Amino acid sequence: MDREALQKVAALNQDPDAANNLKICVRSAGASGHVYASAIDKFVAHARNELAALELPGLTFCLVDGEGFAAVGTLGWADKDRQLPVDPGHLFQIGSISKSFAALCVYRLADEGEIDLDAPLSSYLPDAPLPAEPICLQQVLSHTSGLPVDAPAAFPRVPGERLWTGFAPGSRYSYSNTGYELLGMLVEKVTGKPYPVALRELVTRPLGISAAGLREAIQASERAHYAIGYSPLDFFLGPALTRMPVGQVPWVNWTNPASCIGATADAMAHYVKYLLAVGQGRGAPLFSDATARRFATPVVTDPGSEGFGHASGLQASDLDGHAVLQHGGSMLGFSSHLMIDPVSGVGCFANVNLLATDYDPSGLVRYACKLLRHSREGGAAPTSPDAAASDHVEAAESYAGTYFGPEGNQFQLVARTGRLSIVADDREGRLHAARRGGFQSDHPRYGRHLFDFERGGGAVTGAWFGPTLYGRGAPVPQPIVPPELLALQGLYVSEDPRVWAASIVVQKGCLVLERYGFQPGKTSLERNGDYWHSTDAPCERIRFLGLQDGVPRCLNISGRPDLWRFDRI
C-alpha cells in the first residue's frame, strides 16, 4: 500500500477550496508496490487547472495499474444550477467507449463457439438490410467494414432501404457507429436476450462491476443518478466552445450498443484494469488468453500508419514510444477518454459533463498515463500540458490583418502569443482551428460558419466565411455561383438532438458541407447520381429532398432523420 499516496489524498480531500469539490479514494487490492503519491498530486493539480481555465462543470477520473492500485476521484459540479458537487456515485455517460464493451460481448460469444469472427455478418442476421458485399464480424469490430458512420442499422431511410459500403470491406478504415449497432443486434440474436441484459450477463457481472456503478442502457427512469450534462447554449446552430455560457442538454433514452453506457469512475476503474490485462494477453474471466491477444491486436489498413490502427472497439496508437490502446466518447453533455499502456502496466479514464467542440479529456488522460509511467520507471518527469492548448494556432501571425467583404463589412484578425482573435463591431472573439478542418469562432457575428483561408505565393490572401470571400487588405470579386448550387445553400436543422444541424454553402464553385455540433469540419461534396458524397467520407450519402421551386426543404445524411431547412431571423 502506498502510504504516502494515502496521506497525500487525505490532504487533498481536506483542501479548503470548496469550489473544487474534490473527492478521491486510493486503494490497493493487490501487490502493487509502486509509489504514486507525486503522480496523484500532479494530476489533481492539472485537473483543477483545466476545470478552472476551460470552465468545465465536473470531472470523474481513475488512475489504475495492473497490480491492484486504483485512485478514483471526482471534481467540480454535477449540477451547476443547484451547486451540487460531483459525487462518487454519480453516473456519467461514456459515449463510444461503450463500443469496447460490445466488442467484449462478441469475443466472449466467439470464445464459447457461438459465433465465428471471420464469418459474414449476414450469416447471423439474414433479415437485416445489409449490403450485397459480404462483411465479416472482425471487419465490423475494427471499423474496416465500409459501412457509413451513423446510418440506422434496421431502417435506413434511403432508396431500397438497404445499407451500403463506401469501399471494399477490409480495404481501409472508416469509423462506423452503424456497425456496432449491428453487433448489438447480433448479440441479441445469438443470446435471445435484449442487448443490455446480454451485456450484463456476458461482461459486466463476470468482471465484478456492480449494477449501482454501471448502467447498460441510458433511460430516464435512472436520470436522477446521473450528473447533469451541459453544452454551450448555441450548440446546435453555431459556435460551441468552452468558456461560453452553458445550459443543460436534452435527455435522450439510448440503447444503441455504440454508446449506451453510463458509469461511475469506480466502475470504470474495474473496467480499465481488465482492459489492461487484456492488453497484456490475459483474458480471464471472460475468455482465453489467445482470444485476448486477438482482441487487442490492431487491424492495420494504412501503410503509412507505422503499425497502428484499430483493434476491436479500441484504437491503437503511440504514447512516447509505447503502443497504447485508447478510445474517446461523446454524448449530449458528456465527453470521455480511456487509455491503457500495457507495456508500462497502467491505465486511465476521465469523463467531463460538458460537450464542446474544442475539448475532450484525451490530453488529461495522456498526462495521467505519463505520470503513472514516470512513477514506475523514472526518467524525465512529464510536463503538465497547456489547459487552453485548443486556442493555439500554428503560425498565428501569418493570418493577422484586416479582411474586407463585398459590401463594406470587415473584420480584423489579431495574433497574440500564438492565439488568434477576431475583432468586428467593437467586439472581440476567439478564433482557432476546428478538429476536422477550418477555423471556428465565438464572435457574435462570425460564429455561424467556419473560416477557411485562401493562400497565394505562400501567404494568406483571403478568407471564406460561409459563401462569402473576404480579401486580406482589400475587397475581392465574388465568384459566380451556379444557380443549381445556390438553391441548395442553407442551414438544415434536425428535430432529433442527436443529429444536430448542417450548413451547406458554395465555396470555389463547389458545394461544401459544414457540420455543426460535435467536431465541426468542412468537406467538399460531389454529385454521384441521386446523391452527393465526399472523397473525405466515401461511406456517407447525402440527399436533398422536398424540392419546391428547385429549393430543397430538407437534407438527409446517410438515411438518418431528416434535417429541415431553417431560415434564420
DSSP 69-122: EEEEEEEEEEETTTTEEP-TT-BEE-GGGHHHHHHHHHHHHHHTTS--TTSBGG
pLDDT above 70 (res 10): no
Q: Please state the pTM of the whole predicted model.
A: 0.94
Domain extents for the chain? 1-88+226-253+314-390, 101-191, 392-444+454-472, 483-566
Give the E-state strand segments of 427-558 in sequence order. Answer: 427-433, 439-441, 451-456, 459-465, 468-472, 490-494, 501-507, 510-515, 521-528, 531-533, 542-545, 554-557
Express each pLDDT in 328-368 by its tens digit: 999 999 999 999 999 999 999 999 999 998 899 999 999 99
Phi/psi at 424 (5° precision)? -160, 150
Whole-angstrom Cα distance, residue 346 to residue 425?
51
Task: Write the pLDDT tens digit of every residue in 41-78.
Answer: 999 999 999 999 999 999 999 999 999 999 999 999 99
483-566 folds as: Lipocalin (2.40.128)
- The helix (run of H) or strand (run of E) holding residue 474 is none
Q: Do the Cβ atoms of 154 and 128 come closer than 8 Å?
A: yes
Residue 101 above 90 pLDDT? Answer: yes
CB 558: neighbour CB atoms within 10 A?
Answer: 25
Residues 62 and 372: their CA atoms lie apart, in Å, by 12
**Count of CB atoms situated within 10 Å of the CB of 383:** 8
From residue 2, give the alpha-carbon distance in Å to each of 7, 44, 71, 137: 9, 17, 11, 44
Pairwise CA distance, residues 488 & 540, whole Å:
18
Give the mean model confidence (pLDDT) for residues 532-557.
Answer: 92
Q: DSSP letter for 20, please.
A: G
- Residue 388: CB partners within 8 Å, gap ≥ 6? 53, 54
Model pLDDT for residues 103-136, shown as the tens digit of each residue: 999 999 999 999 999 999 999 999 999 999 999 9
State the DSSP string of 152-207: -SS---STTS----SS-TTSS----HHHHHHHHHHHHHHHSS-HHHHHIIIIITTT
- 3-class DSSP assignment, residue 285: coil
